[in-house]
């Protein structure tokens, strides 16, 4: 086994894990089928990343340069493939790739982020099976024609408004109750009309390019003719086979095998930010490093403690469920 660490995904979380491991003198293999930087490439305007970063692509470029530096120093290999599964064993962790390779290392950090939801996978939307909505984050203000509706209030809404301060067309945002907590950052923007709904039905206009959108609440229903329809539905965790998945399909690190760690957006719906992704990636690499340094007896007792913790959480969940019956 030549690898100390395998990192799956080269977004902010995976890159931070790789850089931290390399800085500790470890050898790391990063698996990434796309561009280094992940979602950073989709962010037009940034205001919450220390260091005066103004756009995602600029930060992505800098992170890619960091990864290239550790590759050049012989501490990192980048494999441009997709991982399909992960497995933890007593003496190693393994990652299987789509091309059939199985890589082994002392530990694996899975930082695969989240993948976009579609109208077909959202139970609050009924729409034609072949409807592919253009994503809001990619829309240019001049492309928005007439009455513009956005399905879903996911966070790119705030980013889009900040990226286009001069965009004047009103966005009618219809969203399910589960998205309500995400609307705070746009609530006071006059360019947005927020409409919390139970269900939306979309049909294409029989003649012309537009859509008919029926929105329904608990005791009301309204129908609108819509010229531009955009998707902003949110995402689901891009979990690999073999990860322990909890509510919503998320994969908390503390639920995994001791040699399998998760970092970034794949862990939880609540901490999906660049800086938290970087922090969790760096922390995952550091915690594996300290575990590997500790004497074998300490590691064994840590594994036992972790299993006991997991079992006690499952027990509490069972008691909660029983209590609700």
Ligand X SMILES: Cc1cc2nc3c(=O)[nH]c(=O)nc-3n(C[C@H](O)[C@H](O)[C@H](O)COP(=O)(O)OP(=O)(O)OC[C@H]3O[C@@H](n4cnc5c(N)ncnc54)[C@H](O)[C@@H]3O)c2cc1C
Residue ranges that bind ligand X, judged by CB under 6 A: 8-14, 31-34, 38-40, 42-43, 46, 48, 82-83, 111-113, 137, 155-156, 159, 238, 240, 264-265, 272-274, 277
Which residue lies nearer to ligand X by CB, 152 or 264? Answer: 264
CB of 194 to ligand X, least distance (A): 18
Helix (H, G, I), strand (E, B) or coil at 113: coil
**Minimum CB distance to ligand X, residue 82 (Å):** 4
Nearer to ligand X, 12 or 258 (CB): 12
Instruction: Find the shortest distance in angstroms from Cβ 165 to ligand X.
Output: 14
Rounding to the nearest 10 degrees, give the CA dihedral for residues 42, 46, 50, 52: 110
CA dist., res. 14 & res. 60, Å (int): 12
Closer Cβ to ligand X, 82 or 92, answer by number: 82
- Residue 36 Cβ vs ligand X, minimum distance, rounded to whole Å: 7
Q: Which residue's CB is nearer to ligand X, number 44 or number 210?
A: 44
How many whole angstroms separate alpha carbon 129 and alpha carbon 126?
A: 9
User: What are 166's two structure tokens?
Assistant: 């001069």
Nearest to 154 by CA among 218, 215, 230: 230
By beta-carbon proximity to ligand X, the closer residue of 97 and 131 is: 97
- Long-range CB pairs of 19-25 (<8 Å, 24+ gap) are 19/66, 19/67, 19/70, 19/282, 20/281, 20/282, 20/285, 20/286, 21/285, 21/288, 21/289, 22/70, 22/73, 22/75, 22/76, 24/285, 24/286, 24/289, 25/75
Q: How far is the CB of 69 from ligand X (least distance, A)?
A: 19
In angstroms, rounded to a whole number, what is the distance separating the alpha carbons of residues 267 and 253? 7
Least separation in angstroms between CB 307 and ligand X: 26
What is the C-alpha separation between 126 and 201, in angstroms, rounded?
5
- 206/270 with CB nearer ligand X: 270
């Amino acid at each position: 086994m030549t690898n100390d660490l395998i990192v799956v995904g080269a977004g902010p979380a995976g890159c931070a894990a790789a850089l931290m491991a390399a800085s500790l003198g470890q050898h790391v293999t990063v698996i990434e089928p796309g561009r280094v930087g992940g979602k950073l490439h989709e962010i037009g305007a940034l205001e919450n990343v220390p260091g005066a970063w103004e756009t995602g692509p600029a930060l992505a470029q800098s992170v890619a340069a960091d990864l290239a530096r550790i590759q050049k120093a012989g501490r990192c290999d980048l494999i441009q493939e997709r991982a399909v599964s992960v497995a933890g064993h007593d003496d190693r962790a393994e990652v299987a790739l789509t091309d059939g390779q199985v890589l082994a290392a002392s530990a694996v950090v899975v930082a695969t982020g989240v993948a976009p939801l579609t109208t077909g996978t959202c139970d609050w939307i009924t729409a034609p099976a072949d409807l592919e909505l253009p994503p809001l984050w990619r829309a240019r203000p001049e492309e928005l024609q007439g009455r513009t509706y956005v399905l879903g209030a996911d966070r790119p809404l705030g980013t889009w408004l900040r990226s286009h301060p001069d965009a004047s067309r009103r966005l009618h945002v219809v969203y399910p109750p589960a998205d309500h907590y995400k609307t705070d950052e746009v609530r006071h923007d006059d360019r947005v009309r927020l409409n919390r709904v139970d269900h939306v039905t979309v049909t294409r206009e029989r003649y012309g390019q537009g859509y008919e959108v029926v929105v329904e609440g608990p005791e009301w229903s309204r129908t609108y003719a819509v010229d531009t329809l955009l998707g902003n539905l949110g995402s689901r965790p891009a979990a690999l086979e073999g990860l322990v998945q909890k509510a919503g399909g998320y994969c908390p690190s503390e639920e995994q095998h001791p040699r399998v760690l998760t970092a970034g957006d794949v862990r939880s719906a609540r901490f999906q930010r660049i800086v938290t992704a970087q922090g969790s990636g760096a922390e995952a690499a550091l915690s594996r490093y300290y575990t590997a340094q500790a004497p074998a007896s300490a590691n064994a007792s840590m594994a036992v403690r972790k299993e006991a913790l997991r079992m006690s959480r499952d027990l509490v969940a069972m008691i909660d469920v029983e209590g609700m019956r």
